[in-house]
C-alpha cells in the first residue's frame, strides 16, 4: 500500500490545523499498514513551479496526439524548454499514479485552495496523464482520496456563508474529472479554526472545538480502515 501525503499550508505544524490533521492520518495509517510506503510532499517547503508556455505547448501537442501514456510523452517533446517542463511534471504524475491513497491537507485561503496546491494541480492535470490509452478509462478510478480541509470561519451546509465555499466544490469537481469514484473521495473539514483568535468569533469557540474533534475522529477512522 502506498500513501501519498501532500501538505499545502503556508503555516508551520504548530499553527496549521491541516498539517496536524494530516500528520494524525499518516501516523494512524502507518500503524495500520506496517509494510506500507508513506511519501510526504510539502508544497510550501518545496513549491511546484507554475505552468510555463513550454508546458502549455507540450500539453496541446499531446492532446492532438490523443491518449498518450506518460512514458511516450518524451517522443513529442520539441525543445529544451519543453524537456525541462516535462522533467518537472512527470515525477509528480508518477507519484499520483503509484499511490493507493492520496492525502491532501488543504486550508481555505480566500474562499478557495492555496496557490501552492493549485500549481501542483495544474502540473499533474496533464493531457492523458491518468487515462488508460487502451480503454480510455481513468487509471485513478480505484484511488482512495482523503482531503483534510480547515476553514477559519463557518462554511458548512446550512451556514450563512455556505455559498462562499469554493474549496469543496472545486476539489470535488476536479477529482471527479480525473475519474476518481465519488465513493472513494472523502472530504473532512475543521470549521471555525480562527475562533480562538478573532474577537468576533470568540462566542463560537465551543462549536470550533466540536468541529475539530469530529475532524480528528473522521481522519483517524479513515486512516485505520
Q: What is the mean pLDDT of residues 195-211?
A: 81
> When comparing pLDDT for 162 and 102, which is higher?
102
The answer, yes or no, to whether residue 98 has pLDDT greater than 90, is yes
CA distance 171 to 66: 26
Domains of the chain: residue spans and CATH: 2-224 (3.40.50.360)
Q: Which of 42, 40, 31 is nearest to 3 (CA)?
A: 40
The number of beta carbons lying within 10 Å of the beta carbon of residue 176 is 12
Give the mean model confidence (pLDDT) for residues 171-198. Answer: 92
**Measured distance CA(123)–CA(85) in Å, rounded:** 9
The pTM of the full predicted model, rounded to 2 decimals, is 0.94
For the chain, what's the residue count? 225
pLDDT > 90 fraction of the chain, expressed in percent and rounded: 81
DSSP, residue by residue, 105-131 = EEE-BTTB--HHHHHHHHHH--TTTTB
Q: What is the pLDDT, as a whole number, of residue 203?
A: 77
Whole-number mean pLDDT of the chain? 94
Is 90 exceeded by the pLDDT of residue 106?
yes
Q: What's the pLDDT score for residue 91?
A: 97
Q: Which of 5, 44, 15 is nearest to 222 (CA)?
A: 5
State the DSSP string of 163-174: GG--HHHHHHHH
As a whole number of Å, the end-to-end CA separation of the chain is 12
Amino acid at each position: 500500500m502506498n500513501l501519498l501525503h501532500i501538505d499545502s499550508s503556508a503555516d508551520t505544524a504548530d499553527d496549521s490545523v491541516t498539517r496536524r490533521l494530516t500528520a494524525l492520518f499518516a501516523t494512524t495509517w502507518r500503524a495500520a499498514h506496517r509494510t506500507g510506503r508513506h511519501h510526504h510532499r510539502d508544497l510550501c517547503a518545496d513549491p511546484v513551479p507554475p505552468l510555463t508556455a513550454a508546458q502549455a505547448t507540450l500539453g496541446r501537442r499531446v492532446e492532438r496526439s490523443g491518449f498518450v501514456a506518460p512514458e511516450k510523452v518524451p517522443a513529442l517533446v520539441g525543445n529544451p524548454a519543453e524537456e525541462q517542463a516535462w522533467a518537472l511534471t512527470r515525477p509528480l504524475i508518477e507519484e499520483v499514479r503509484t499511490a493507493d491513497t492520496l492525502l491532501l491537507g488543504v486550508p481555505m485561503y480566500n474562499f478557495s485552495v492555496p496557490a501552492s496546491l493549485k500549481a501542483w494541480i495544474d502540473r499533474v492535470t496533464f493531457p492523458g496523464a491518468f487515462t488508460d490509452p487502451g480503454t480510455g478509462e481513468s487509471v485513478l478510478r480505484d484511488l482512495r482520496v482523503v482531503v483534510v480541509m480547515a476553514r477559519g470561519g463557518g462554511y458548512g451546509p446550512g451556514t450563512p456563508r455556505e455559498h462562499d465555499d469554493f474549496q469543496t466544490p472545486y476539489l470535488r469537481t476536479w477529482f471527479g474529472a480525473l475519474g476518481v469514484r465519488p465513493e472513494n473521495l472523502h472530504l473532512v473539514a475543521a470549521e471555525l479554526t480562527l475562533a480562538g483568535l478573532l474577537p468576533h468569533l470568540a462566542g463560537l469557540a465551543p462549536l470550533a472545538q466540536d468541529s475539530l474533534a469530529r475532524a480528528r475522529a473522521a481522519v483517524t477512522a479513515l486512516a485505520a480502515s
